[in-house]
Structure 1
Amino acid sequence: MKTQIVIVDDHELMAKALSSLVQKFDQYEVIYEVASGLELIRRFDLGMVPQIVLLDVHMPEMDGYEVAKWLRDNYPTVRVLALSMNDKEEAIVKMLRNGASGYLLKGCKPREFKAALDSITSKGFYYSEYITSHLIKNLNPTKGADPVKGFGLNERELTFIRMACSDLTYNEIADKMCVSPRTVDGYRESVFQKMDVKSRVGMVIKAMKNNLLSPE
């Protein structure tokens, strides 16, 4: 049986192009396309639930972040592959926190798109170079020792981590923490070293794994 896919994109040409591309892959089929998150919810209410949702990040009324969160809360077994022109870490982090199983740039090549679908189908996730398989597989909070003490984090570093696990820019974090951008750079370098990560996205994954985030 083919893996069923739904496309959510308010740009009709993009939706049609994606649908045509998917139909070329033997093991996948597009069962419908919708132009908004609200229309997707209506279709789900009718029982039209796929295995994978190809989700545009920037849409009117209900953006991709909101749709991903709704799917996470109501249909956690449905995998979400976010599609965007935005390669900023803040956008990736926000989609990740809202339950996306993958994040792909719209300018990618067809073979990477196919690889993303295959990875989500077989492994449950796809993040290319942004996130390693090891970190994704260990998203469940670690039990036992206090992770704050384990990493050797101080209160300011913990505050920085929690703010960085949002869509705030580093300059906005500096404003909220009432410090200079250079001080925030220092927090980032220290946290990366203590948590043994090399990117903001990697830090977010490790923070989620170790239950360092404040309740939403």
Structure 2
Amino acid sequence: MEYSVVVVDDHILLSQAIGGLVEAFDQFKVMYLCKNGQELIDALQNPKNIPDIVLMDVNMPILNGIETTAHLKDHFPEVKVLALSIEEDDATILKMLRAGAKGYLMKDVKKAELQEALLEVVENGYYHTNTVAKILVNSLRHKESSVLSLKEREIEFIQHACTEKTYREIADIMCLSPKTIEGYRDVLFEKLNLRNRTGLVIYAIKNKIFTP
């Protein structure tokens, strides 16, 4: 069976080189190349242009890889995205995977590993290098540890903060001064790396501290 691949990268020569590598693999065929995510989304409006796999760069103008991957996850879930980037920081890798990418490779990947990754993605649904697997595990551990490090009163405050109550009303319910409640808020924002109350609500729901 032959699988179709689209390469999305704003560096034309690099995109062509990646396409040439893929063309050399027996089971894969390059359908076309795109310079950015918007160009890909426009092309996908034609059902004949929908590939099995997209090799996606992360940093691109107009529409980047993370935004494009999230769009594909929502509108073309059958298309599997394999990130191919020079970005190697943990935060970027996690954003790409959370957006829906099935794997993340560096652009200096060896030919044999690229072929293996493509095969794994179409046959098993994902491909994670040891580095990416460690990043995922560390992310899960961080989430667990952040929840475990919360004090009982902090959890109570979070649960109240997930409602429509004002901070002053929360202070009355918890029998604390508004200033103390503001202190809880500021400490939690810093501890959980959050910017606002909305982020606190999302965190609480994700970690099952609050059920809407």
Q: Normalising TM by the smaller chain, what interval?
A: 0.5 to 0.7
Amino acid in structure 1 at the alignment position of 2:111: P
Q: What are the superposed Cα offsets for residues 33-74 of structure 1, whole Å, 9 maximum, x if unpaired?
A: 111111111110011100100001000010001000000111
Alignment partners' CA distance in 2, 1:106 and 1:68: 18
Alignment partners' CA distance in 2, 1:175 and 1:128: 36
| SS of 1:31 mapped into structure 2 | strand
1:10 equivalent in alignment to 2:10: yes
Aligned partner of 2:199 in structure 1 is none
Count of residues paired in the alignment: 161
What RMSD, in angstroms, separates the aligned Cα atoms of the two structures?
A: 3.6
Higher relative contact order (CA 8 A, sep 6+): 1
Amino acid in structure 1 at the alignment position of 2:90: E
Alignment partners' CA distance in 1, 2:148 and 2:115: 41
Alignment partners' CA distance in 2, 1:31 and 1:4: 6
Aligned partner of 1:82 in structure 2 is 83
Aligned partner of 2:106 in structure 1 is 105
Aligned partner of 1:154 in structure 2 is 150
Alignment partners' CA distance in 1, 2:33 and 2:15: 7
1:60 equivalent in alignment to 2:61: yes
Q: TM-score, normalised by structure 2?
A: 0.66
Alignment partners' CA distance in 2, 1:65 and 1:46: 22
The change in CA–CA distance for 1:106 and 1:153 in structure 2 (over 3 A counts) is same
Which aligned runs of 4 or more in structure 1 are off by greater than 4 angstroms? none
| SS of 1:17 mapped into structure 2 | helix
* Percentage identity across paired residues of the two chains: 36
- Whichever of the two has the greater Rg, that structure is 2
| SS of 1:93 mapped into structure 2 | helix
The change in CA–CA distance for 1:152 and 1:22 in structure 2 (over 3 A counts) is same
State the shift of 1:18 in Å. Answer: 0.6
Structure 2 stretches lacking a partner, 5+ long:
138-142, 159-185, 194-204
